[in-house]
Structures are given as C-alpha cells and as structure tokens.
Structure 1
C-alpha cells in the first residue's frame, strides 16, 4: 500500500506541476484587468480596455483559465503517463481517447434514460414535485465536459480514466496477438483495450454516479459542518502525511473533486476547493471569494510565512556560539525559502529526524492555523504553496473585501512568537540536537555539487539500495528519492543512510523506499538512472 500510494502521489504531481504557472498567469491577468482595481488606482490609461497591457494581461488570464477549466482531461493524461512503467506516451494518448469515449458513452446512455439538458434543470425537477434543495442537488449531478452533456464527475472521472489506462498499459504494453492481428500487438494494443474497458465503465457510471454524487455531497456537507474542528484535523494530518510523502495522494481529492465542495460560478458548477477559487478569480463579478472553498489550503500561510522562519530563528539562537556563523546562513536561506515560496522541507527536515517532538508541535500549530483562518473566513488562494508570492497575488492584489487577508498579517506576528518560544524552550530544556548544537551536529547544507561529486557517491547510493539488479524504478519528488526495489531486505540499514550517505531519513514499506535528500533527490535520481 505504501508503494502504491507513493507512486500515486508522484503521478498526481505531474498534472499538478502545470498549475502553479497557470495560476500565476490567471492571478496576474485577472488582478490587473479587474475594472474595480484599475479604476481605484487610476490606471485606466495604462491597464484600461483597449491598451496593449490590457490585451496582454487578458491573454494571460485566458491561458490560465483554460488550464483550470480542463483539469479532468489533464489529470487523466497525467496520471496515465505518470503511472505507466513502459510506453508512457501511448498511455497518455490512450487516456485522452478513453476520456472522450467515456463521456460520449455516458451522454448516450443518459439520452436513453430520458436525461437531457432540458430535463435535468432545477426548474424541471421542481416541476416534478421536488423542493428547491432536492432539485438543486439532483440537477448538480449533470453538466458538460468538453462540450459533451454528461454527469458531473469532474476530476474524479479523469483520475478513474488515468488509473485504468495506466493499469492496462502496464499489463498489455508487450501483448502479442495472432499473426493475422499482429499489427495491433504491443503498444498499439493499449488504446484498443483502453477504449473497450472504459466503454464498460461509461455504461455503468450513469446508473451509479447520481447516488455517489449525492453521497459525496452529503459527506462534504458533514465535513463542512464540523467547522474549525474538522479543519484542525485536516491541517494536522496533512502535515503528518507530509513526512511519508503521502499527502500528494490526499489533498488533490479536496482541491479538485467534489470532496472539496461544489459551487456555481459564472453559471457553471465547479468542483473542488482550488478549482472553485480560480473560477471565482476569473469571474469579474465575484465580490468575495468562498472561504468554504479555500479552507483546504489557506491555513498553511501562517506556519509557512511566519511560523517556520521563526522556528529557524530559534534554532539559530540556540546553536553553539562557534557554530552560529555557519548555521546562520543555512537557516536564513531555509527560512527565506519558506517565506517567499512556501516550500518548507528545508526547514522541516533540519529538525524532523533529530527532534521529532518539534515536528509534532509544528503539526498541531498548523492544524490550529487551518481552524482559526477558516473561522475568520479568510479566503486567500494558492497555486502550489503558500509563500509571499501567492499571498501577494491572491491576497493583497485581490483586496481585503474579497479575501479577508488582513487576518494573516494580524496573526502572523503572534504565530511567529509562539513558534519561536516553543522551539527555543523545548530545544534548551531537552537539549535537542538541532543544527549547530553539539560536536557532531550537521552544520551545513549539502549543495548539488557536494552531493554528487564529494560527499555522496552515486555508486554508494545504488549499493545501499541493493545494487543495480535490485532496482525496479527510480524516481524523486521535491525532497525524496523514491525507489521501488525487488527485495527490500537488500536495502541498507538506516544507520548507513544517515551516516556515510548523508541522508536525512529513510522510509521502507513493502517494496517501496523513500530516502530524504532535500533538493539532491532529483539529481540523484537522474544520475542513478543514467548508470543503472
């Protein structure tokens, strides 16, 4: 299960990787073409309708918007190609074809059942005796995908297609057919079997999805009714799952599927927290962003922009005097990374393995941040992470009336103070070996050059993984080397990884191995794959 979730999380990151740039383009374009902002700051002559900048920014907004409007197809192709072990291109193409076929079949079956755009409106269901709530819930089951009238399965449909096609691609990429049909053997068989299989799924979905949709909506409403308490546990467990890299397999379900809620924006029903935010961002008539949609990510701003930089300061202040000059630069760069970009691993992994209690405190504080900002109806969006860049684009530039961003600034200083004193007190009281404390402490961050040419030999890493013959798949995320091996017993003990190999930590489950190397993970992956 660990290995499968690891690979699924990696596959999710492929389509998600395109969203930050799309979000930035949409954020900049929408912010600087918003008539209210243009008129408020007297920028009509520069950014008003008809100016060159207006056309450029409008185009940027349109580019970003088209990405978020077609997330189901993007996820289908991305997941299929990401999970395919062989013939990734064929898997991606087959997924795009299967996605279209699935929705066409669904549309055809709906027609047979008498469900058309005219017979699935709120007014129609109310005319059949339903009350407004029941009619709205029933009408939300149906919608359009790429112009096809279908059930509103959204990104979840893309995930289903991607998983199915990846499974078929891995099973049949080398399929041999009889001589008379040999042309369709191997890679050419993947789209054929994908279309046939997804056709069965397409026939089933119209009969079961209305019940699944209502069940998901009911669960989402229940989760929403838990209020700040529910958001505390969401934020807490997401931070804990981050240790194992499994959060990538969970949060997309809340960001892009009905689990994250549904909302009508500009006449179109949108599913998932981040999808709703960016739909509202692209809609000039939106006067206030939905805190119900942004509750699954806004809570990260306080720990990422204020809390962890303060924790880095506490680690610096508690370092041995002789080491402060060395660790000061390390911790400052890690704190700056967290504040500017929202990428927290450089700080978190400096204390996770030497002082896990600090990480537990950090997870609790992050859960509280999610709960408090949700209770205050703060609705600041996010592309990938929660640093000053996203805060500026989706908070400051959008205005406090739309986002309530001012609460992040108000609570930022108290958050920093709490992190600073909790970390400082615990480090001193329990003599925790954070950077710069003790004779054997780590007093530097390893650069890519150091890791590859000096401190870590690629051949030693391969040997620690059981040798070339033991490697099945080698990949990486932002901070972790992710490897699937044939025999987990051949993988070296933790002491080897944390000793000569300079790893921050290692996790082993089933046939999956994760080694925490920070920014070195991607480089090590590439070097191993070159010589394996």
Structure 2
C-alpha cells in the first residue's frame, strides 16, 4: 500500500475539490436522522400501514408518528438553507459562525429579491406554482432553485467571507469592519444574485430538464455508467458532488405530488413516502439509489469472505476480526470504505471490477424496478424502513435478496480467483512482516493519546498541519509539506488506507473517525 502523490501547489485542484466535497458532509450528516424520523413516522402513520397492522391504530401512538414525520419532513423541505450554511461553514477556514449567519441572510435576501421581481413583472403565480417553476422557500414565494440555489449562495458567501472577514474600514466606520462586514456585503451581493437568478434560472430549469431527458434516453446503459462513475469517484471523496444533483435536483427527475413540483430522486421519494395515494414509488429511485443495497449488503460481504479465505492461515484470526467488523458495517449502514480501502491500493484492478459490478447492480435494480429509497446509504436499516415496511407492491424489495445472494457469490468467486491468480497482497497476504494487530489496536497500547500522537507525527508535526477535518470515514487534512508525511506512522495508527495529491491528504479509518478526529484535536489544542 503506498501513497499516490504528485507535485502541485497548495491550491491544487484535488485539494480544492476535496474541501468542496467535505463541505457537503455537514448538511448530509443530518439527513440520516431526519430520514429515520420521516421513514418511521411516515410509514407507521400511513393509512395503508394502519389498515394492514391494526395494532398501530392507537390515538396517542399515531400522534407520535405524525410528529416524527413532520419533524423529518421539515428537514427535506429546507435543504437549500442546509446546503447554503453547510458549504459556507465547511469551506471557511476561520470565523465559521459568521460565515453560517451570512449565508442565511444571503439566501433570504436572494429569495426576497426574486419575489419582488416576480411581483414587479406580473409573473408571480397565484396557483399551480409547480407548473411555472415557482415554490415556497423559507416563507417566500420564489423561483424553485432548490439545492442549487443553496449551493450558489454558500459559494458566494465563502468567497466574500474569505475576501472581507479581515477588512479594516475608516475609523468612523470601524465598528462595521472585520467579521461584521461579512453579513452586510453578503446581503447586498445577494440582491444582485437574486436579479441574476431571476433572469437566468428559468433557462437553467429548461436545460436541467433537458439533461434529465438525455439521462432517461440512455436507458439501462446510462444507469450502469452512473453506478460505475459513482463508485470510481469514491476514493477521491468526490462522489457526493456527483450523486447529489441526481438526488436533490431536477437532474434526477421531477414529479408533481399533492399539487407541488418536487425535484430530485430523494426528495421525490420522501414526498411520496408521506403521500398515502402512492401506488409505486418513482422509477428514478431504481436508477440512482436501489442498486446500492445489492452491493453494500451482499456483494462486498462476498469480497470480505474471499479475502479471508485467501489470507495466510496464521493471519486469518486477525484478518477475520477486521473483515467481520467491516462487513457488518457495510451490511447494516452501507458504509463501505473500510472494505474498499483494504484492497484499493494493493489491488486497483479489484476496485475497477468492483465499480463495474456496482454499475451492473444499479442497472439490474433499474430493470427490475426496485424502488427502495434511502437517506444516506444502502444498508439493512434503510432497507427495512424504506423497503420492507413500505411493502413489496410499492418497492419490489424482495428482488434485493434474490439478486443479492447471487451477487455475493459473484464477488466471492471473482475476487478469490483474481487474488490467487495475480497474487494480490490483500489483507493477510502481505510480504512484509508488519503485525496487523498493531495497526488494529494502536489506541489500546498507551491510550487514545498514543494514537493521536502517531497521527500528528505521521502528518509531519503540528506545524505542518494547515487544515484538519473529517467526513464519515476518513480524516481530511491539508499539510504544508507532503514530503513530511509518514505512511508508516499513519499505518501504525490504524489507518486502512491513505490517499494524497499535492498537499491534500485523506486517511481512512472507518466509522470511528470522528472519535479519532476529536483525539487529535485535543492534542493539537484546536477549537
């Protein structure tokens, strides 16, 4: 396993893309909890569910479910502000609170400006808002810019914050300098942004709808390509940028539900989840979501078993514990990085094959019209909430295990054959004498501080760390000098894999990464 690096400046494309992708994780992090509320509340308060399961027909219990559904729904109805704040806060290097406040003000001002222009031009719709591309956002009738509008506001806020958060004004205006100037300049800039959006967005809506038509016209092959590209972007932490437009904008399709235009596969699914008249969920779910369950719950479990059986007998005990925890994580939650990074660097060909299989899984889900939605990833929890509890008539969820079991053996036999044929150095097959148990238990040797010290030293020391953050499974770090990074020390700390390009470093640990991040920040004395 090695560090892939190349010479580049501190502002390399990879580093910028990594930070941009990381900024999406903040708003995304709230979606699983909101999805659970909406999924459980919506499913169990649905009249059809109550009819099927009479024991649910208890007044106070239905009230609880209704509250849960309402609490979850409000999150998905306000994704624009979540992304505006999340991107501004995620990208800002300092003074993140000001960036978040400024982004809220900017989004309000932008939508209010659009509303005023709709009134002035006499184009403010009185009814059927969906039919003319308008909707309600934060209590304001405006153009339906959705998540794109939030992203644009977040990026604008970040740029203005970076430029003006340390500005010094003349003494008589000194009170408004520095951080206080950022919300002011963002609010004024949002007026111009609102004017631009008013003129441009109707045309953008037409283009997006046209792109959606192109995607539809590619049929099953297009679905395969979607799944393949999505998986190939995973190691670079850029997969969020790729799939979010399909999940949250008109690129993933649009449907009129209860008289409201809903755009984006995930948003359509959750709107239909609360609509008792839904007979079968939106077909786009089968293209952009449902294939994940086949890979994450079955395919990669087969890959784990193949790596276990091809490991050296004397190392199987350690390898078995690592692979079992990774397999359970993938099966239950759909978080796959612990498995994928165990073979990505030592056998890239296996990863390409995995990406192709994943694309095929998406295509099969499309062919079989499997419409099991999800909040974050394709694990057992989401399958139960958004497949089993919704019924096979709406979701065709029974096809998932029917396809998944053969998929398990497809991964198992293909991985086992290739590992043995080409002698890939997967877990337990390494030539070196590194003791894997050391990597797995670094934090147990001398406490959490030992692991944090290893990571800091492996990154070249405190003075070499410029930015330090994490996503769901990996640390995301920007360093001054990548030559000071020690793969040996990072591996000793328990890292599953390391990816570097220029000064942007990603260190994969798995779901416990937030704990590791807190340990390191305590050592660094970061706020």
- TM-score, structure 1 as length reference: 0.90
1:114-144 superposed Cα distances (whole Å, 9 cap, x missing partner): 21214x859xxxxxxxxxxxxx8xx342222
Give secondary structure in 1 for the equivalent of 2:112.
helix
1:382 corresponding residue in structure 2 = 374
Give, in whole Å, the separation in 1 of the partners of 2:103 and 2:79: 13
Q: Given that residues 5 and 249 in structure 1 are in contact (C-alpha distance below 8 angstroms), is that contact kept between their aligned partners in structure 2?
A: no
* Per-residue deviation, 1:367: 0.4
1:306 to 256, 279, 298: 298
2:86 alignment partner in structure 1? 78
Distance in 1, matches of 2:89 and 2:462, equals 24
Cα offset for 1:499?
A: 5.8
How far the C-alpha of 1:448 sits from its partner, in A, is: 6.8
Q: RMSD of aligned C-alpha atoms?
A: 2.2
Aligned residues: 510
Q: 1:25 aligns with which of 18, 37, 48?
A: 37
Structure 1 gap segments, 5+ residues each: 123-135
User: Which position in structure 1 is the counterpart of 2:10?
Assistant: none
Among candidates 402, 420, 423, match of residue 412 of structure 2: 420
Q: Does 1:114 align with 2:141?
A: no
Change (3 A) 1:294 1:192: farther
Q: Which residue of 1 aligns with 2:19?
A: 7
The question of 1:150 aligning with 2:142 is answered yes
Q: Mean alpha-carbon deviation: is it higher for 295-304 or for 141-150? A: 141-150
C-alpha spacing 1:338/1:502, structure 2 compared with 1 (3 Å): closer
Change (3 A) 1:457 1:346: closer
Counterpart of 1:295 in 2: which secondary structure?
Answer: helix
CA deviations over 1:398-441 (Å, ceiling 9, x no partner): 01111111111211111111111101111121222222235636
| In structure 2, distance between residues paired with 1:519 and 1:65 | 26
1:474 pairs, out of 457, 460, 468, with: 468
Residues 11 and 79 in structure 1, CA contact (< 8 A), matched pair in contact too: yes
Tell me the distance in 2 between the aligned counterparts of 1:55 and 1:380: 26
C-alpha separation between the residues in 1 aligned to 2:508 and 2:294? 25
Paired residues for 1:315-354 under 5 Å: 315-354=307-346
Residue in structure 1 matching 2:75, options 67, 70, 80? 67
Q: CA deviation at 1:500?
A: 5.1
Write the distance in 2 (CA, Å) between the matches of 1:395 and 1:188. Answer: 49
Aligned partner of 1:461 among 455, 465, 473: 455
Change (3 A) 1:121 1:467: same
Secondary structure (helix, strand or coil) at the match of 2:358 reads helix
- Residue pair 2:448, 2:519 contacting (<8 A) in 1 also: no
1:70 shift after superposition: 1.0
Among 268, 280, 286, the alignment partner of 1:288 is 280
CA distance in 1, matches of 2:495, 2:324: 21
Alignment-derived partner of residue 485 in structure 1: 479
For residues 446 and 23 of structure 2, what CA distance do their matches in structure 1 show? 26
User: Structure 2: any 5+ residue segments left out of the alignment?
Assistant: 1-12
1:177-192 aligned at under 5 Å gives the runs: 177-192=169-184
**Shift of the alpha carbon at 1:71?**
0.9
Q: How far apart in 1 are the matches of 2:491 and 2:144? A: 52
| Residue-by-residue CA offset, 1:269-316 (whole Å, 9 max, x unaligned) | 111111111111011221110021452121111010111111111112
Distance 1:293 1:264, change over 3 A: farther
Instruction: Tell me the residue number matched to 2:5.
Output: none
Whether contact under 8 Å (2:392, 2:398) holds in the other structure is yes
1:232 maps to which residue? 224
Given the two structures, how large is their TM-score scaled by the length of structure 2?
0.91
CA shift for structure 1 position 506: 2.8
* Other-structure match for 1:527: 519
Say if 2:514 is the partner of 1:515: no
Structure 2 equivalent of residue 360 of structure 1 = 352
Match of 1:274 in 2: 266
Secondary structure of 1:383's partner?
coil
| SS of match in other structure, 2:201 | helix
